[in-house]
Amino acid sequence: MRLYLDLGNSQLKWGLRQEGTWIRQGRLPLKHLDQLATEWRNLPPIRAAHGVSVAHPDLRAQVEHACLALGQAPCWHSSKPSEGGICNGYDNPAQLGPDRWMALQGAWQLQHRAALVVMAGTATTLDSLDEKGHFLGGMILPGLTLMRHSLHQSTAHLPAIAQGTYTLQARSTQDAIQSGTLAATLGALKLAREALSQKDCRVPVFLGGGHHAELSPYLEAPLHVYPELVLEGLALLLEKDQARI
């Protein structure tokens, strides 16, 4: 049984997996990492821990300490020039966030075809993968919560909103903020998808991240939703390598 970790900008996502099946998965805000030992108290024995991290080294050290209590030091993975059948098209391949690299791995290992890989978390990333497994590049924009928080923090009168109704002709400030932030994200997604698609063939979107449920109702098929796409990619990549041994 292996433990997989995705230490992000605001949460730790983790999953316990055995023989290609997720046994347990969980999420924990970074501010509550001191509760990780308690959360993992009843986990069965693990034989390895693997993860990716974009968080501060001090936070990674907290996760490592909790893993050591389970008897395993985690192996942290980074982006490579090529791996798992994907060629990394970044000018500096090592600069690509490891979470984005593993989300790309998830899409490619699940379906060996062109895809737009969307991770909707603290930031929203839109990454393009062609039919030969070449990562062509991508975009980063503020996540939905970050956009809304920025409007509230940087203006005198715009409220912090918990929810609203999406409409292109909003008649309340709350709905206008909800609609504007969603439309900005969906517009960028549409442009990225159109640039990658063939004339009569829309590429699939692989969608993950904490805001996946907000975006998915507005996305046309083919759409594949994997809330923990980073963990999926990390697990599938390592299982593929293991099968070769």
Length of the chain: 245
Q: 26: which 2 tokens?
A: 């969980």
Cα distance between residue 27 and residue 11, in whole Å: 6
Whether residue 179 contacts residue 168, with contact meaning beta carbons closer than 8 Å, is answered with yes
34, 58, 91, 99: which one is catalytic? 99
Give the relative orientation of helices 229-244 and 98-110 as an angle to the nearest 10 degrees. 70
Q: Tell how far CA 139 is from the center of its chain.
A: 14
Q: What are phi and psi of 15, to 5 degrees?
A: -150, 145
Whether residue 11 contacts residue 18, with contact meaning beta carbons closer than 8 Å, is answered with no
From first CA to last CA, the distance across the chain in angstroms is 17
Q: 240: which 2 tokens?
A: 């593929």
Of the candidates 87, 68, 107, 91, which has an alpha carbon nearest to the alpha carbon of residue 234?
Answer: 107
99 flagged as catalytic? yes
- Decide: helix, strand or coil at residue 70: coil
Distances in whole angstroms, Cα of residue 85 to Cα of each of 128, 131, 170, 228 = 15, 11, 45, 21
Positions annotated as catalytic residues are 99
